[in-house]
A and B are shown apart, each in its own frame.
Chain A
């Protein structure tokens, strides 16, 4: 079974600074996807960024980027120019492909989460 570990229960950053959230995972599969989700106090789970395992290039989405190290099974999230609105719980998630043919669905395995505080 896959496991996802986030070793930082809490992190803090000054506004406009950069912060990196860590995530490691364990799997024997070669085809999978990795995600970072953000859950603000409203509890709505929002997709931040995704990475396909077969892609060597690290994904980026505006101020968010990842450092994907497949051999080390590491998937960290870097937030640049942090903003107050970035304060939230961040979850790393692993998705394995289930289903065959024209329909696929995915089982997401989540880490424990990291609470990010942004100081003005």
Chain B
């Protein structure tokens, strides 16, 4: 019963390094999301993919790129990490349409030094 799986769970990067956060869901969901959460804050939407083959910007897309590799997988890439990108990153998925629940991965704790 995996649900939404994120890797890695923890990561430390140096300023300027690049990395890709991976997310996969096994619920046959159409829509997938990437959020970031800073201390004491709610979740802010970075990018989302309403369906396979489409991606759209959210509230805070600058500094990030995404790829919807197939229906299961949605990756988030930091091309040149900055300390301001230190955060907890959550991936989520939903069926897509209607009043349906979003399921979350356990998060990736990223520190950029």
Answer whether A and B are interacting partners.
Answer: no
